[in-house]
Amino acid sequence: MADSLEPLSPYKAVDEGENVTLSCKYKTSATNPDLHWYRQQPKSTPVFLLYIDLYGIKTNPMPPRLDVKIDKTNKQVDLIISSAAVSDSALYYCALRPTVTGNPAALYKNLYSDKIGPMDEDANTVGKELNTVTLECSYETSSDCICLHWHKQYPNSTPQFILLKGAKRVISEEYNKSGSRFRAETTVLQSH
């Protein structure tokens, strides 16, 4: 099954101070997808707002006046904006995985406001054709529900999702869009 998202209404107009719900239907073969919401103001790039997974685990803390709900039965995710303001006028995106445009450094942005990054200072790894290359990253987080997303990006193009690998409580979670060419492993490092 191909992953897809479909907004239920391409346009919503509300009076200032009213609550508004933006909804998307989703289809995915992932067993526990993270559904992400982004906001794009005019003449700006999309900005991450929040996420929720199928278990109801969501961004913590939530941005002011925003909430998110998921309906697994109808495969629908709702973004709720309380007391709408003129400043909320924007284009809103729903995504099945983190979406990054324009800034490769944002690939290391994570959703728990903890730390994530490459293992070494020079993240540019070069390997000979047909050889195996290992890329490593480290992370620190207080969450026990972690899904690490790997992307690749060619020059002058947007990042492409490769795979998702669970860690800690969701260690068995894995979604590999690229087949057997790419794989991920997680290791818990003990602090001394």
Average pLDDT of the segment spanning 114-131: 56
Residue predicted with more confidence, 132 or 112 = 132
The number of domains in the chain is: 2
Check pLDDT > 90 for residue 117: no
Render pLDDT for 23-58 as a digit per residue (tens, 0 to 9). 999 998 887 788 989 888 887 878 889 889 888 888
For residue 10, the domain's CATH number is 2.60.40.10
pLDDT at res. 101: 46
Render pLDDT for 148-173 as a digit per residue (tens, 0 to 9). 767 776 776 666 667 767 766 555 55
Residues 101, 46 contacting (CB under 8 angstroms)? yes
> 82 and 131, same structural domain?
no
pLDDT at res. 25: 93
pLDDT at res. 177: 57
Beta-carbon contacts of 49 under 8 Å, excluding residues fewer than 6 positions away, are 36, 37, 38, 39, 59, 63, 66, 79
End-to-end CA distance of the chain: 45
Domain contains 186:
no
Residues 118, 130 contacting (CB under 8 angstroms)? no
Distance CA 100, CA 107 (A): 7
CA distances in angstroms from 136 to 30, 120, 122, listed in the order given: 23, 8, 11
> 110 and 90, same structural domain?
no
> 111 and 53, same structural domain?
no
Task: Please report where in the chains the tokens 């869009």 appear, as a residue.
Answer: 177
pLDDT at res. 102: 40
Domain boundary residue among 28, 60, 95?
Answer: 95
Domain contains 91:
yes
pTM: 0.55
